Every structure is written in C-alpha cells, then in structure tokens.
C-alpha cells in the first residue's frame, strides 16, 4: 500500500512536470512509465495524452515493455513531446531507450535519481548525465538539467535531477527551479 506522504511527494513532482510542459506547443504528450497517469489531469485538454507503461494500471494505457520494444507513435516528430518520471532507474539499458525517444520526439523531459538508499544499484548520476549529454551531442540535441528548488524528495534522502532534451535551447520557465547547462567531457 502506498502511503499518503509518498502520494504527496509524487503529486509535487507531477505538478512540476505538468508546469514544465503545459505551455509547450506540442500536440501529443507521451508519458513513459506513466503508472496511474496522474499528470493527465494537470496538462489540460489541448494535449493528446498517451500513457505508456509495462502494466495496465488503467484501461487506456498503452502497454509496452520499453526493454524490448517501442509503441506505435501518433503525430509527427515536431508534434510530439515525451516525459518520464522515475522510469530509467528500472531499465537495464536506459541509454537505448533515451536514444530511441530522442530519435522520435522533439522534446523530452525526465527525472533521474541522483542518490537514494533503495536505488544503490543504479548508474551513478555523474556517469549517467555524461552519457546522456554525449548522446545529445551525437544527435545534435540540446540538453539542460533542471533542479527543483525545495524538492520535498530531498527530505526523504532522494535526490533527483530533471533533464530536458530538445531540438532547440530550453530554459525552465518556472520560478522555483534552477537550470544548469551540463558541460560534457570531451
């Protein structure tokens, strides 16, 4: 059973992601690792929402195991954006999935746990970010890192980065975040 405190933490993260993408001019919003599709109610009716997960937590979720395949996509490259909150910590090869998303979406925002006791097995953040930045450079994409100020997850010992990958430069429009531009190793 999920605790009320945990739900509040995810609600905060969901609201942050919704604010991040709500005003962007994309018609389709793909939510990879969507769970119960919480973000759908925050982004409004002007976006066509497609929830994608390995399990059908709700009847309208597109079932897809990203470890082995990718869902059929609607719209054009320019009309699609994607998000993933708390997904890549569970994939054995997150880079393959990130590369596939980069090749099929004009905008992509995702969170990645920097440190947390239960996730000691994940790729260390610095290595992960360096690899993602290298992927972006190879695909001529822009990459920025956003840190949410006063992130309630930090009180639980879970530190996360939010990475934004786009065809054009992106600055977080929110007043309660800090944008950093990663400098990739050469």
Report the candidate in 153, 110, 142, 154 with the shortest Cα–Cα distance to residue 128.
110
124-133 residue pLDDT tens: 666 777 788 8
Residues of the chain above pLDDT 90, percent: 20
- Please name the residues in contact with 43: beta carbons below 8 A apart, sequence gap of 6 or more: 18, 21, 22, 29, 49
| Residue 77: per-residue pLDDT | 92
For residues 80 and 59, is the Cβ–Cβ distance under 8 A? no
For residue 30, name the pLDDT band (cuts at 50, 70, 90).
very high
- Please name the residues in contact with 171: beta carbons below 8 A apart, sequence gap of 6 or more: 144, 179
Write phi, then psi, for 135 (nearest 5 degrees): -60, -45
Report the candidate in 61, 67, 88, 90 with the shortest Cα–Cα distance to residue 165.
88
Of residues 90 and 5, more confidently modeled: 90
CA dist 147 and 160 (Å) reads: 8
CA dist 34 and 50 (Å) reads: 9
Domain ranges, ordered by start, for the chain: 4-180
Share the mean pLDDT of the chain.
76
Q: According to CATH, what is the number of the domain 4-180?
A: 3.40.50.150
For residue 149, name the pLDDT band (cuts at 50, 70, 90).
low
74-126 residue pLDDT tens: 999 999 999 998 888 778 888 889 899 989 998 888 887 655 455 444 556 66
| Residue 178: per-residue pLDDT | 52
152-165 residue pLDDT tens: 556 555 555 667 77
Of residues 166 and 148, more confidently modeled: 166
Length of the chain: 186
For residue 1, name the pLDDT band (cuts at 50, 70, 90).
very low
- Does 31 score more than 90 pLDDT? yes
| Residue 131: per-residue pLDDT | 82
- Does 5 score more than 50 pLDDT? no
| Residue 166: per-residue pLDDT | 77
Asked which of 13-22, 39-48, 171-180 is least confident by mean pLDDT, the reply is 171-180
């Amino acid at each position: 059973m999920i605790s009320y405190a945990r739900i509040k933490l995810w609600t905060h993260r969901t609201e942050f992601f919704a604010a991040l993408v709500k005003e962007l001019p994309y018609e389709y919003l793909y939510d990879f690792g969507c769970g119960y599709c919480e973000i759908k109610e925050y982004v409004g009716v002007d976006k066509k929402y497609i929830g994608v997960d390995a399990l059908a937590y709700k009847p309208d979720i597109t079932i897809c195991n990203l470890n082995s395949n990718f869902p059929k996509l609607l719209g054009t490259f320019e009309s699609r954006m994607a998000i993933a909150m708390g997904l890549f910590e569970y994939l054995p090869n997150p880079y393959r999935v990130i590369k596939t998303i980069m090749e099929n979406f004009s905008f992509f925002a995702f969170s990645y746990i920097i440190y947390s006791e239960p996730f000691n097995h994940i790729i260390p953040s610095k290595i992960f970010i360096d690899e993602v930045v290298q992927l972006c450079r190879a695909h001529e994409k822009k990459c920025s890192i956003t840190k949410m100020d006063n992130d309630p997850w930090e009180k639980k010992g879970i530190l996360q980065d939010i990475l934004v990958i786009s065809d054009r430069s992106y600055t977080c429009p929110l007043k309660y975040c800090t944008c950093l531009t990663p400098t990739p190793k050469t």
